[in-house]
């Protein structure tokens, strides 16, 4: 499906990002894995190469810095000659009550979660050709509120708005722009969640389980594929039915 295609995945070292990188590599894509944790990123790249036979390059990257993003895009061109798929996955979700949020807390989350989508998408669009795909990872927190995550909810709502507007701007270039909004996903980032909290989450989900990285990866693979050529400006919710309640 993705033979001779090159994909960049941010926040690719573990969790949802790793699952996305693995799925795209299984489809035959070359992968450029951007992550702040370079040691884990390099180990994950080696692992994905062994599992899939696809080529993977690990690039240390702070997605809130334009210079790092420019180097990430350059790495795709230098190593593989093109950039066909961009997955804006990197994100953080530090819980903190709204009245205790500092300006620094707000800026950090908006920089990593939202400004990075702007920086990556703009830099990628400059080198992408017709038929390229941009997929961002939003969240059901863009549709429903969560206490202690006002800054996170705002950043993910911003991704949804940006996805729709950018889809219009890039339509003349035949670049599809979409997003996936995960629900509760079992990842290393959720390792601090207690068994009781998991049980409570599961009771809220019609499918009675937390999602897995591959659940999100499957949606990304579809949006990055030729089968989604006529799909743009959409946010696909993958939450086991949570937001239907």
Active site residues: 152
Structure tokens at 245: 């309640």
The 3-state DSSP class for residue 98 equals helix
Residues, the chain? 245
CA distance 25 to 226: 16
230 three-class SS: coil
Name the residue among 62, 16, 58 with its Cα closest to residue 41: 58
CA dist., res. 199 & res. 241, Å (int): 16
For the purposes of burial, counting CB atoms within 10 Å of the CB of 244, is it exposed (0-12), middle (13-18) or buried (19 or more)?
A: exposed
């Amino acid at each position: 499906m993705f033979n001779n295609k090159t994909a960049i995945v941010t926040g690719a070292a573990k969790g949802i990002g790793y699952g996305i990188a693995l799925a795209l590599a299984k489809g035959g894509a070359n992968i450029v894995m951007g992550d702040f944790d370079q040691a884990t990123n390099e180990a994950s790249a080696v692992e994905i190469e062994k599992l899939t036979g696809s080529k993977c390059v690990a690039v240390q990257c702070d997605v809130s810095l334009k210079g790092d993003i420019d180097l990430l895009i350059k790495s795709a061109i230098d190593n593989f000659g093109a950039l066909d798929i961009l997955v804006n996955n990197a994100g953080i979700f530090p819980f903190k009550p709204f009245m205790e949020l500092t300006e620094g807390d707000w800026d950090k989350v908006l920089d990593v979660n939202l400004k990075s989508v702007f920086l990556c998408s703009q830099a990628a669009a400059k080198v992408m050709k017709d038929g390229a795909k941009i997929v961002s990872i939003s969240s059901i927190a863009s549709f429903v509120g969560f206490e202690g995550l006002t800054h996170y909810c705002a950043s993910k709502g911003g991704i949804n708005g940006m996805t729709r507007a950018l889809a219009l701007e890039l339509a003349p270039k035949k670049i599809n722009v979409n997003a996936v909004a995960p629900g509760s996903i079992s990842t290393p980032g959720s390792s601090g969640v207690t068994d009781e909290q998991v049980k409570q989450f599961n009771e809220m989900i019609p499918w009675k389980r937390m999602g897995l990285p591959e659940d999100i990866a499957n949606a990304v693979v579809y949006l990055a594929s030729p089968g989604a050529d006529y799909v743009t400006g959409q946010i696909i919710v993958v939450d086991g039915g949570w937001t239907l309640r």
